[in-house]
Amino acid sequence: MSGVRRVVPLTFGWEHLGKSVSVYGADPSIRMREPVPGVLCEVDGGWLLLDTGFNPAFVRDVPFRRRFNDSLGDYEAELPDPVRDPLVAAFDLVGLDPSIVTAVGVSHFHLDHSGGLRWFAGEVPVFAQRAELEYVLDSPHPEPERNAMFRVDVDDPNIDWHVADGDVEIAPGVTAVLTAGHSPGHQSFVIDLDESVGGGGYVFAFDAADLQENLDDELPVGHAIGMPPEQTVEAIRRLKSIAAARGYRLLPGHDPDVWPAFTRELGYPTWDERMGF
């Protein structure tokens, strides 16, 4: 087997925010409820998890959240379960358990993508870009926090970091592609499906392109670190080029229509279905 044999979409919750966070120049009064995604890939040797969702302490603990309120602004996180950890709840929805994970890849270190890393510290290798780690761990306080990156989520000496400086295959059939802009070391992921399941594949943009319109109209994302937002279109064009060359489907990171539809297409339940909406 040389490719991914199974792809399982996860949803760790939702975020309520102005559209201008996702699309540069959009009307900030337009509010959106965007899903927070993760992807499980069955590969040779186990299961690779791409992104880990929220640390619920930033959502449920009022004093803790108050400390970081300046960076979050009018951002609101919505978790799928009032008690359980969002990572556990997301796995349970698709009938799996976090213990199956044998490696983790993190697109970047915003609070909605790296908050579940604590589950895997000392347990499995974690793949990230060097530029991302250096920004969060080496930048003067409180620079990363102003950009909703919280050191507590990643500064664990037990995390087995596997650090890259650009594109790298992190598991058979899974390649991390450097798409810096939204964050200094943001990475998207190219998934090559094994021939035993029909071949083909996917390109998961994550926050290199939040919405389908970012991709369709090549609109820059609304938030960038270290470059003008307009330059984030370069990453979008690169991902579109990879997807077109391989004939793969390119999926945006937070689209409220695309992600649940994709989840259903692959035969997995959505939270709205579970909740009876």
Q: Kindly report the CATH number assigned to the domain that includes residue 244.
A: 3.60.15.10
The reply to whether 24 falls in a domain is yes
| pLDDT at residue 71, as a whole number | 60
Mean pLDDT of 63-79: 77
Question: What tokens does 52 get?
Answer: 């880990």
The reply to whether 43 falls in a domain is yes
Mean pLDDT of 55-68: 82
The reply to whether 113 falls in a domain is yes
pLDDT tier at 70 (50, 70, 90 boundaries)? low
Tally of structural domains, the chain: 1
The reply to whether 108 falls in a domain is yes
The values of phi and psi at residue 63, to 5°, are -65, -40
pLDDT tier at 144 (50, 70, 90 boundaries)? very high
Is the pTM here over 0.95, yes or no?
Answer: yes
Alpha carbons 85 and 54: distance in angstroms, whole number: 9
pLDDT tier at 276 (50, 70, 90 boundaries)? low
| pLDDT at residue 69, as a whole number | 60
Which of these, 271, 267, 256, 211, lies nearest to 35 by C-alpha position? 256
Alpha carbons 107 and 115: distance in angstroms, whole number: 12
Which of these, 13, 8, 7, lies nearest to 272 by C-alpha position? 13
Length of the chain (residues): 277
Do the Cβ atoms of 38 and 10 come closer than 8 Å? yes
The reply to whether 32 falls in a domain is yes
Higher pLDDT: 10 or 273? It is 10
Residue 132 belongs to what domain range? 6-268
Mean pLDDT of 11-32: 96
Do the Cβ atoms of 251 and 188 come closer than 8 Å? no
* 148 Rama class: left (phi>0) / alpha (psi -120 to 50) / beta: left
Question: What tokens does 269 get?
Answer: 């339940």
Cis peptide before 142 (omega within 30 of 0): yes
The reply to whether 162 falls in a domain is yes
User: Which one-letter amino acid corresponds to residue 246?
Assistant: R
The reply to whether 100 falls in a domain is yes
pLDDT tier at 186 (50, 70, 90 boundaries)? very high
Question: What tokens does 77 get?
Answer: 């996180």
* pLDDT tens-digit map of 200-255: 999 999 999 999 999 999 999 999 999 999 999 999 999 999 999 999 999 999 99
Has residue 1 got a pLDDT over 90?
Answer: no
| pLDDT at residue 151, as a whole number | 92
The reply to whether 42 falls in a domain is yes
